[in-house]
Amino acid sequence: MLAGAVLLAAVTILASSHRGHPRAAARPAVTVTSVGHRLLGVTGGWELFGRGPESVVAIRFAAGRITRTTIPPLDSGGPVSFLVGPGEVIIRPIDFVPGYRVVDGQPPTGLSGPLGHGGPLIGGPDPGQAWVTGTSLGHPALRLVSLAGWPVLSVPLPRTGPEVLTATSDGNGNVLLTGPTGTYVAETGGLRRLSLQPTAVGPHRWLAMSCRHRRHCRNVVVDPSGGTPRIVRTLPGPAVPAKIWPPGVIAPDGSAAAVFLLGGMSRISLHLINLRTGADHPVDMPADLMPAEQTLAWSPDGRWLFAVAGPGQLLAINPRTFQAVHLGVSLPYLTQIAVRPAPR
């Protein structure tokens, strides 16, 4: 565990006031804590955001500052979309129940318009955009909207059972759709069917499985840009199962893929796969994993891989040593994480 967990200063911002007789035990909507030192030695201006049942936290590693915002309970037991945009965070259950917007440093407010409806919410090609479900000419479609709710464009979905399609990010602002009829990617240019199903995604590279026949499959590194995904490298060793869920995440420099694998005794383990050599490195985790969407996130410089482990702990993994450590600071129970790059 990292040293230096002593909190040197804590500043509380009371983001909402109460008229009349004050409540002595009222919890402030936003609290900011300074730990007095950099976390993990980070010097860049990026932030890690985490969501739990009762709060959202923003961790500025270089500044040694943690902001916690209390959010109302979500009236849903289903999946929740957690989207980090410029200056705000969007929290939306897949059910048709209230979701919330958390502007930096402010208490949460309710969602309305296209962002306030149910269904998945996936980050778009621009940091200020998101994909939502809707209709186009009476047929199911994915709609690209701004985070303010303004429409940008629509992409019709396959007409063969769109309700059974599983939607997730392709790592580059588009949407991967997987279902019984195949795997598709929805992007601003329309809908494309893929010949490969990605097992890990990133902005510049995918990891996928290619099979000559059923018993001869290999991991392949794919360049998803330029229309049709192109295999750029075939890796030695056994292939990651094609139906792994959720898809893993690839380091920003394309050097490694982090994926969840099912091992003996139904134990879930985290592996880092070198995308040049094919080497498979299991990560030594001090806690049980929580394999779900948005429980893994890379730092923008690729020096750290963050993971949510049980019960709701945040761990930092060194991809060079394959060791996981705690941050050494107090955090609430977390279920999802996402990274906001430093402003340009």
| SS3 state of residue 139 | strand
DSSP assignment of 92-103 equals EESSSS--EEEE
What tokens were used for 68? 């916690």
pLDDT for the residue 225: 84
Burial class (CB in 10 A: 0-12, 13-18, 19+), 132: buried
Model pLDDT, residue 262: 77
User: How far apart are alpha carbons 172 and 310 in whole angstroms?
Assistant: 28
| pLDDT in the model for residue 244 | 67
- CB atoms inside a 10 Å sphere around CB 193: 11
Residue ranges of the chain whose pLDDT lies below 70:
1-27, 160-164, 214, 242-244, 263-266
Record the pTM. 0.89
Neighbouring residues of 150: CB distance < 8 A, sequence distance ≥ 6: none
> Distances in Å between the alpha carbon of 314 and those of 33, 61, 171, 308?
17, 14, 21, 5
- Give the helix, strand, coil percentages of the chain, each rounded to 5: 5, 45, 50
CA distance 294 to 315: 14
